[in-house]
Amino acid sequence: MDHSGEKGNLSQVQHVVLVLSGKGGVGKSTLTTELALALRHAGKRVGILDVDLCGPSIPRMLGADQQAVHQCDAGWVPVYTDAQKSLALMSIGFLLESPDEAVVWRGPKKTALIGQFVSDVAWGELDFLLVDTPPGTSDEHLAVVENLRKHKVDGAILVTTPQAVSTGDVRREITFCKKIGLRILGIVENMSGFVCPHCSECSNIFSKGGGEELAKLTGSPFLGCVPLDPQLSASIEEGKDFIQAFPESSTFSSINRIAQAVMTSTEAV
Amino acid sequence: MADVPSDAPQHCPGTSSSQAGKSSACQGCPNQTICASGATQAPDPAIEEIRVKMASVKHKILVLSGKGGVGKSTISTQLAHGLAGDSSTEVALLDVDICGPSIPKMMGVEGEQVHQSGSGWSPVYVEDNLAVMSVGFLLSSPDDAIIWRGPKKNGMIKQFLRDVDWGQLDYLIVDTPPGTSDEHLSVVQYLCGAGVDGAIIVTTPQEVSLQDVRKEIRFCEKVGLPVIGVVENMSGFLCPKCKNMTPIFPPTTGGAEKMCLDMGLSFLERVPLDPRIGKSCDEGRPFLTEVADSPAAAAYRSIVRGVTEYCASRRHQGDADQTAAGQRQDGEP
């Protein structure tokens, strides 16, 4: 992992963290977005690379879906969510002519674009680059890891929901990480319980505890639970900053704990 | 030639790809000249083989969504159980999610093995009239990861369609992974000779889901796949204590019903969240029969009816077209 003298576009990126799950729909993009916002809240410069080419969710979640990407000498300029350039994004979502446009590509074409996303985006100085991935263990994941080999990757966060059907897929993702030598920073159990806003009764809609059990089973750190929160879903829908809107919520504390754990485990190395 | 020959380089685009022999990965490959000549672009003979194999399958239905985690496998499972509820109906469920095969667990047959015989691979039987095939049955441990690029996944899907001994079937349901990529293209391509009746599209109510699902619908339009209808899953949660309904995944842009109106599609049904569904799936038990009086079970039964009615109307249309064609041949007006 020698990156001394590396003048590439990732040379000023301090930490790279992948957000993975074998399972779809567990909240990878949501968690990537919220982690990025939490890290920014903690004063860090953050970038998000969205390598989900078929279902790019990041632009909308950060209210940036109307934006387009521009070129500079070093490559593509990432899309910034504000004038202060505190959060930089890259996604195929910015390259599509229409939001309904389907990207119907086989593996090799996806691999090629991801290669470009990794090396041709002029990220500049970042404390953290979070990489949001699609579900699975296939072309996109191999492409991202292979292209990042020249640069140091701190590790991966694995997201699961509590049920066995989800942890069953995430176990396979853990095997993928071990096979390619990717450090597992920890497991997050998302959609972990729902507190009724009317009567405060807690319902475990997608079961409970599976993420923590998986962490124990595989010897991985457990980063914590994030509950099902309609306010979080609504913020994500509308591309609003949940952390700014609901700083007192227990959901924010859960996310903040995960962000702290990420900072501790990456900056200590 | 195999789609990815054994002597091919690491990023081989596949011999049937339009990039065969032309991509940078092809440099130095012993097969480059053959691929570049276009010889490998000829229609895959497997398409005809699959057409012949599928002649004993009356109806083929795909379950799709651009979005992950919306409940494709859950709905595929309930649909399969619902159709197989009539013991005279032969049903099979094919799981083409190669990286995340959920169907064996949901159908309560995790850990079962697939056997080979002279007539091909035998699927795993959940009931006498309900068979299942998944890559999950080929893995020896729950930790085994399938880290395959597109061409190898395509090869597996071809084998599933061509080499499984399905026998006579009324319905073959194909559960897919999220996205619009290799698996989806391969299933549609390999079944183009046999014909697919249609696709059920599954979504959850939020725009973050719908924006991916619209892409899937565009994919269906591109490949000429009829859409049977759209199911809105996880449509609200009824608190068991106070009975208030909370839209956990809010339909901020009108949900699936508005999307169907905008895109001219049939809105099949709305299925509410029910913790017992996830529990049944985790335990491999049929929710449809075990919690038959729940609103979610009623919704699933409505989806089953929608599918059977759609397929019946296609059969009648097919029969009417054949009769008309026969009359024209005989010189009748």
Task: Report pLDDT digits (tens) over B165-191.
Answer: 999 999 999 999 988 888 998 999 999
Angstrom distance (rounded) from CA B32 to CA B20: 8
Q: Which residues of B touch A141 (CB under 8 A)?
A: 147
Helix-strand-coil split of chain B, %, nearest 5: 40, 15, 40
**pTM of the full structure:** 0.88
Q: What share of chain B in percent tops pLDDT 70?
A: 96
pLDDT at A100 over 90: no
Which residue is listed with tokens 């002279």?
A: B118
Calculate mean pLDDT across residues A245-251: 90
Q: Do A197 and B150 touch (CB under 8 A)?
A: no
State the nearest Cα–Cα gap between A20 and chain B, in angstroms: 13
Q: Please tell me the predicted confidence (pLDDT) of residue A3.
A: 40
Structure-model confidence comparison of residues B7 and B283, the more confident one: B283
Pairing of strands B91-95, B169-175: parallel
Q: Do B145 and A176 touch (CB under 8 A)?
A: yes
Please give the structure tokens belonging to residue B49.
């083989």
Task: Report pLDDT digits (tens) over B274-301.
Answer: 999 999 999 999 999 999 999 999 999 9
Q: Which residues of A touch B217 (CB under 8 A)?
A: 100
β-sheet bridge partners, residue B199: B62, B227
Residue A77, classed as helix, strand or coil, is strand
Q: Please tell me the predicted confidence (pLDDT) of residue A209.
A: 94
Task: Report pLDDT digits (tens) over B222-240.
Answer: 999 999 999 999 999 988 8
Please give the structure tokens belonging to residue B97.
């999610």
Please give the C-alpha separations between residue B187 and each of B56, B100, B151, B161, B202, in angstroms, as whole numbers: 18, 17, 13, 8, 18
Taking the mean position of all CA atoms in its chain, how far away is CA B133? 12
Angstrom distance (rounded) from CA A241 to CA A64: 12
Q: Please tell me the predicted confidence (pLDDT) of residue A2.
A: 39
Structure-model confidence comparison of residues A152 and A184, the more confident one: A184
Q: Single out the residue of B156, B216, B203, B210 nearest to residue B183, CA to CA.
A: B156
Q: Single out the residue of A120, A131, A130 nearest to residue A95, CA to CA.
A: A120
Angstrom distance (rounded) from CA A148 to CA A186: 20
Which residue is listed with tokens 């579900």?
A: A135
Terminal Cα distance for chain B, rounded: 49
What is the 8-class DSSP label of residue A8?
A: S
Q: What is the CA radius of gyration of chain A?
A: 18
β-sheet bridge partners, residue A128: A15, A46
> What is the value of ipTM here, to two decimals?
0.88
Q: Do B180 and A102 touch (CB under 8 A)?
A: yes
* Strand residues in chain B grouped as ranges (E): 57-64, 91-95, 115-117, 120-122, 124-127, 130-134, 169-175, 198-203, 227-232, 237-238, 245-246, 267-270
Establish, for the pair of chains A and B, how many residue pairs have beta carbons separated by less than 8 Å: 219
Q: Does A199 contact chain B (CB < 8 Å)?
A: yes
What's chain B's average pLDDT? 90
Searching chain B, which residue's CA lies closest to the CA of residue A191? B248
Q: Do B14 and A108 touch (CB under 8 A)?
A: yes
Searching chain B, which residue's CA lies closest to the CA of residue A53? B179
Angstrom distance (rounded) from CA A35 to CA A117: 21
Residue to test with chain A: of B64, B70, B215, B253, most A Cβ within 10 A: B215
State the nearest Cα–Cα gap between B324 and chain A, in angstroms: 38
Task: Report pLDDT digits (tens) over A212-225.
Answer: 999 999 999 999 99
pLDDT at B60 over 80: yes
Angstrom distance (rounded) from CA A122 to CA B3: 37
